[in-house]
Amino acid sequence: MESDNSNKTILVVDDEPDIVFVLTMALKKRGYHTEEAFNGLEALAKIREHIPDAVIMDIMMPKMDGRSVNLKLKQDPKTAGIPVIIITGKGDFKELLDLHEGVNVAAYLEKPFPISVLMEKLNNILNEVDSRK
């Protein structure tokens, strides 16, 4: 059963505009509201303005990388519960695995990945969050 995504906001963070565009279009097609950021500092500013239901974020970005953004989110009680899905290039995979213990990442995907896989992970994560409320 397709859930109602119209009240869910997803922040897409990647320094590659083409990736942000494709992911944003896929999310909108499935009824999500979206926000976009192109580096870690911009992502943090957007999250402070409006806390999203989930974040889809690259690891390797200018100004602040995804790992640092995730650490900052988990240190703040207001943002600690936001599920983060990490998307990463193949070469970044080892760095992803070096995430500090205790810093939650809801899921991670290695680029390139099928949009359907991302959407399935996102739906599962959001359903899990909703079931805890």
Residue 73 maps to which CATH number? Answer: 3.40.50.2300
Q: Give the pLDDT confidence score for residue 18 in this predicted structure.
A: 96
E strand or H helix that includes residue 54? strand 54-58
| 53 within domain boundaries | yes
| 1 within domain boundaries | no
- Domain of 61 in residue numbering reads as 9-127
| 3 within domain boundaries | no
Q: Give the pLDDT confidence score for residue 103 in this predicted structure.
A: 47
- According to DSSP, residue 36 is labeled E
The pTM of the whole model exceeds 0.75: yes
Instruction: With beta carbons less than 8 A apart as the criterion, state whether 40 and 69 touch.
Output: yes
Distance CA 2, CA 57 (A): 24
Q: Give the pLDDT confidence score for residue 3 in this predicted structure.
A: 56
| 2 within domain boundaries | no
How many distinct structural domains can be found in the chain?
1
Distance CA 43, CA 2 (A): 28
- According to DSSP, residue 11 is labeled E
pLDDT, one tens digit for every residue, the chain (133 residues): 345 787 999 999 999 999 999 999 999 999 999 999 999 999 999 999 999 999 999 988 889 988 889 989 989 999 999 999 988 876 555 555 555 444 468 888 888 899 999 999 999 999 988 888 7
| 91 within domain boundaries | yes
3-class SS at 29? helix
